[in-house]
Amino acid sequence: MDNQFSQWEVFIQKKNGAAHEHAGSVHAADKNMALQNARDVYTRRNEGRSIWVVPTDSIVASTIEDEVVFFDPANDKIYRNPNFYKMPKGTTNL
């Protein structure tokens, strides 16, 4: 019976201080293999300085059906935006 190992999602930090961004996935049998495979597959052009790998199974995702319920409620909360507030004329450094 063939196996191709389980799938892992790869996140790469490109520069010091930057966030880890999703790069793609690899197959691997264990953690070390997943890290090394991610390195060999996704950083051959000097794209990385740090790698996270996460078993794909461990990712929980919202679905498109959730979109309206999850995100629409946030689109009328304009008081979270700095431009919502009127400052007296001439105010500086704010």
Partner 1 sequence: MQKNESSISFLEKQFQEKINNDIKIEPKDWMPEAYRNNLIRQMSQHAHSEIIGMQPEGNWVLRAPTLRAKKILLAKIQDEAGHGLYLYSATETLGIDRKEMIEQLQQGKAKYSSIFNYPTLNWADIGAVGWLVDGAAIVNQTMLARGSYGPYSRAMLRICKEEGFHQRQGYEIMAKMMAGNASQKEMAQDSLNRWWEPSLMMFGPHDSESTHSEQSMKWKIKVESNDNLRQRFINKTVDQAHHIGLTIPDKNLTYNKETRNWEISPINWEEFWNVVKGNGPCNRQRIAHHTKYHNEGQWVREAALVFAKKEMEIQ
Partner 2 sequence: MNSTNNALYNYCLRLADNNLILGQRLAEWCSQGPTLEEDLALTNISLDLIGQAESFYEFATTFTEANCTADDLAFLRSEREFVNNVLVEQPNGDFAYTIMKQFLFSTFAKHLYTALANSSNQTICGLATKGLKEVNYHYMHSSQWLIRLGNGTDKSKEKIQFAANDLWCFTKDMFEMNSVDTLLIEQNITINLSTIYTPWKNDIEQVFKIATIDLPTDTNKIIGGIKGIHTEHLGHILCEMQYLQRAHPGAKW
Using CB under 8 A, count the residues that bind partner 1. 18
CA angle 27, 34, 60 (to 5 degrees): 75
Q: Which is nearer to partner 1, 15 or 44 (CB)?
A: 44
* Interface residue with partner 1, options 14, 20, 27, 39 (CB under 8 A): 27
CB of 4 closer than 8 Å to CB of 27:
yes
26 binds partner 1 (CB under 8 A): yes
70 binds partner 1 (CB under 8 A): no
Sequence letter at residue 83: N
CA dist 26 and 55 (Å) reads 10
Binding mask 8-47 for partner 2 (x = CB under 8 A): ------------------xxxxx-xx--xx--xx--x---
* Binding at 36: pick from partner 2, partner 1, none (beta carbon under 5-8 Å per type): partner 2
Q: Where are the alpha helices (DSSP H) in the chain?
A: 31-42, 67-71
